[in-house]
Chains A and B, each alone.
Chain A
């Protein structure tokens, strides 16, 4: 009996000690010096704390978007831009005349479509989530698996995909030749009313390159020192809340986000496996492997940019993640760690860049506040500064 009582007392004390430790740990998470963080991050970015990334990563600092540069082979021209905008919103580019590029890349939905995966011809379901086309001007390879090398090449692919617009390029050319308005638009853009697939692609790419994210709270915060008077400096400096600045700090340090999400667009433009291959399961998607046929590319998908990320729910290549806290919990756990089966050449391997992060709920909330700060309303048509 005595033994039981002693054990009970010891147990009770242990519980109390654990509770005190838990409270202390919890309080510690709140002991963020917001004033100091604001001061540090109000300086030029080269004076910010060093980003915490894997030694294999050469991350460029997050910052303002540069002006858009158009390729020499397809320079900017206002009438070509106008033609591209018209084509982009026209269902005639699909066999059914019902599906336009804008069906899956809708301005009001952050230039995505708000669906888990898009639907195409005859309401057929696609396999992947429609990514936003904001900031494609700064992209390198296109589609989740990078199968298009240029935006011009990319523009014609959904038109010909049987699951999407289900059309052929000769049929499209013939259809547009019957349309007087298009003859006028092509003549204005190219000096001739000859309609070709190449010209369609160039016009669509030109239009898409002008869809650049609006200025975000993060951008305004960065621009504060450049403001000429104190009042404007204060307004710009307060564009980001204390919580968002803490989130930015975590993004750059403890959370390790800059292993992949860096630079002005918050993307390394590379391909990674997060453990969402669903290998040999119903939702299997081999990702970049389907294009490259290289076993090391199984389950890899392009890192999406994060500007405007809150406008483009649901997230990930399969659109499974509709809750941002859940998505950050996924990263907090180090993604889904799948051990590669060496006897199976196609067995996927989760990226080494993903590691458990031990972020607490407050830190996750701060990261969300930062993501909010880089998510202005969807880009206007033609928001780009053109160089």
Chain B
């Protein structure tokens, strides 16, 4: 259990920062797993983070962050 937890934590988090968002949504074109939660957070203008729990999710999160034009709306932590 603790190994599993450690693995989850080690993949990090994808964080959305509403203060930097200009609603241009360019990164949403590449969103799949994070599409719904991101859309909701953007609509509510609510900053939050989501745990990255698989390699596939990490790849998607990395892509989303690299597409973010503002360089501050999305971040990997």
Tell me the nearest residue of chain A to B27, going by C-beta. Answer: A320
In the complex, whether A72 has a CB less than 8 A from a CB of chain B is: no
| Most central of B22, B28, B69 by chain A CB within 10 Å | B69
- Beta-carbon contact of A326 and B24 below 8 Å: yes
B23-62 contacts to A, CB under 8 A, are 23-29
In the bound complex, how far is the Cα of B71 from the Cα of A143, in angstroms? 27
- Chain B contact residue count (CB 8 A cutoff): 13
| A residues less than 8 Å from B26 (CB atoms) | 320-321, 326, 330
Contact B69 A329 (CB under 8 A): no
- A294: min CB distance to chain B, Å: 23
Interchain CB contact under 8 A, B29 and A336:
no
- Minimal Cβ-Cβ distance residue in A for B22: A333
Given A329-B22, A329-B23, A333-B23, does the pair A276, B28 have CB atoms closer than 8 Å? no
In the assembly, what is the distance between CA of A282 and CA of B30, in Å? 15
Given contacts A326-B23, A329-B24, contact A320 B71 (CB under 8 A): no
Q: Interface SS of chain A: helix, strand, loop or mixed?
A: loop
Q: How far is the CA of A320 from the CA of B69 in the complex (A)?
A: 9
B28 contact set on A, CB distance < 8 A: 322-323, 326
A281 is an interface residue with CB less than 8 A from chain B: yes
- For A276, what are the chain B residues with a Cβ–Cβ distance below 8 Å? 69
The closest CB in chain A to the CB of B66 belongs to A282
Give the interface centre of B27, B29, B66 by most chain A CB atoms within 10 Å: B29
- Residue in chain A with minimal CB distance to B42: A326
Contacts of A314 in B (CB 8 A): 29
The residue in chain A whose Cβ has the minimal distance to the Cβ of B24 is: A330
Q: Which of B23, B67, B70 contacts A320 (CB 8 A)?
A: B67
**Distance from A104 Cβ to chain B, minimum over Cβ atoms (Å):** 19
* Closest Cβ neighbor of A334 among chain B residues: B22
Partner of B29, one of A116, A283, A325: A116
Given contacts A116-B29, A320-B29, A322-B29, contact A283 B66 (CB under 8 A): yes
Interface residues of A in 251-285 (CB under 8 A from B): 275-276, 278, 281-283
User: B24 contacts A278, CB within 8 Å?
Assistant: no
Contacts of A332 in B (CB 8 A): 22-23
A86 to chain B, nearest CB (A): 36
User: Which 10 residue pairs across A and B have the least CB separation, nearest first?
Assistant: A333-B22, A326-B25, A330-B24, A329-B23, A320-B26, A282-B66, A322-B29, A326-B24, A336-B69, A329-B24
Apart from A323-B29, A333-B22, list 19 A-B contacts with CB within 8 A: A278-B69, A281-B71, A283-B66, A320-B29, A321-B26, A321-B29, A322-B29, A323-B25, A323-B28, A326-B23, A326-B25, A326-B26, A330-B22, A330-B69, A332-B22, A332-B23, A336-B22, A336-B69, A336-B71
